[in-house]
Amino acid sequence: MADSSHARYQSPLTSRYASPEMAFNFSDDKKFSTWRKLWLTLAKAEKQLGLADITDEAIAEMQAHLTDIDYAVAAAEEKRRRHDVMAHVHTFGLAAPKAAPIIHLGATSCFVTDNSELIMYRDGLDILLPKLAQAVQTLAGFADKYKELPTLGFTHFQPAQLTTVGKRATLWVQDLVMDLRNIGRARADLRFRGVKGTTGTQGSFLALFNGDHDKVEALDELVTEMSGFPAAYPVTGQTYSRKVDFDILNALASFGASAHKIATDIRLLAHLKEVEEPFEKDQIGSSAMAYKRNPMRCERVCSLSRHLMALASNGAQTAAVQWLERTLDDSANRRVSLPEAFLTADIVLSLLQNIFDGMVVYPMVIARRISQELPFMATENIIMAMVKAGGDRQVCHEEIRVLSHQAAHRVKAEGGDNDLIERIKATPYFAPIVPQLDVLLDPKTFVGRAPQQVTRFLEIEVKPALAPFADVLARGVKAVELNV
């Protein structure tokens, strides 16, 4: 019989890819210990506001048993009671018998389920944001390093005007900076459910405090503050609005779209042999084709990013069908979609960081491709030079048109190199500007303001975006060892 870890399905998100900190954030240990902390926080706040039935002994017992969860007892209780929260109330009560009568006092199940999830989402976003900032910083460094290296631009994946390797990378950085802003905004907007009761009216707490509305409001504020949130949602049904989940999922899915685009671009450039992801010395690209260097990391980014993007639709549909104060058809879906979104985003970030740390550029390949296309792009410059040398523009246009078609035929029909420049040099008509050809064909004169754009973009956009993360970036974000 295989050992238990291999005898049942395990999500590859946790068993193969996820960082330890994100895997723990959505673990049973984190979830159920957070439930116990919430019950403790509620009891402390209720006691502070005058509920005499809550004793110091009860508080002390709860405090002493926040993490020693007897999962066997909890499982047996859940099987018997068919209610996960009440199973854990009972299990906690066995560990802290003096507190058993007041655990969960006045609360509904969503006090622990919703609030614990909001804590996990808050902590999950706090894990993701520094990693995203580090990815932006690393890629920005790449853009700066290669800001002056000309490369052939592509529109429709067809040769277009030149850009630079660094300028192209700023397009990727810009998307990630937008994601940093979007995810940061979702984090800043996140609030606590607080203590709202079974349908959000706080009726049970009003009864506990003998109709004292001020104390009920104080309880909500106190539990929210003690749980590390600056504010609670002012109104809820039984649950906080599921639009909150949709908001988070949208921000993460939008990052997934950015990651997919970046990884796809690198895959295309790898095909051109211009830029590659890191490739380990002993890495095998194909079991059959020993020469292959497959872009496996980028392919994995694309694969996981598609999953991340698809999860956003769960948030929209779940938010849309929450009847009145709530229905339970949100629960099973959210247990899958929200943790998976965080785990997937975390994994994609680790992959991107690994790729950005070791991206390889091949300037000679890039230069050769430019040399194949630049003569055609330079024809207008050559015409202008001939006019300045006294030539007739229309005559020059016809001369170079004929030579261009001959060179294109050699490239496309004969499989040869682009020999337009050699044809121009061999044509007496162009003799006056032959000494200028090297200058006219310098790739750096075809990239416009690309280098200056990179410098300005990094200064006015990237630097301010990374400023809030200066301390954590200075310390360095912990790297994850990848299974590649």
- DSSP letter at 245 equals H
- In SS3 terms, 431-478 reads as HHHHHHHHHHCCHHHHCCCHHHHHHHHHHHHHHHHHHHHHHHHHHCCC
152 - beta bridge partners?
A: 162
From the candidates 286, 303, 313, 331, give the one annotated as an active-site residue. 286
Which amino acid, residue 4?
Answer: S
In order, the DSSP letters of 321-338 are: T--TT--GGGHHHHHHHH
Please pick, among 4, 5, 6, 156, the residue that the annotation labels catalytic.
156
Query: 216-219: long-range contacts at Cβ-Cβ below 8 A with a sequence spacing of 24 or more?
Result: 218/49, 219/45, 219/46, 219/49, 219/195
Burial of 21 (0-12, 13-18, 19+ CB in 10 A): middle
Contact in structure between 260 and 301 (CB atoms under 8 Å): yes
65 noted as active-site residue = no
Residue 286 falls in the annotated catalytic set: yes
Which residues partner with 163 through β-bridges? 151
8-state DSSP, 230: S
Beta bridge partners of 192: 232
Across 340-371, b (16+ Cβ under 10 Å) vs e yields bbbbbbbbbbbbbbbbbeebebeeeebbebbe
Nearest to 461 by CA among 272, 192, 181: 181
CA distance 147 to 316: 41
Q: Are 272 and 264 in contact (CB under 8 A)?
A: no
| Residues recognised as catalytic | 156, 286
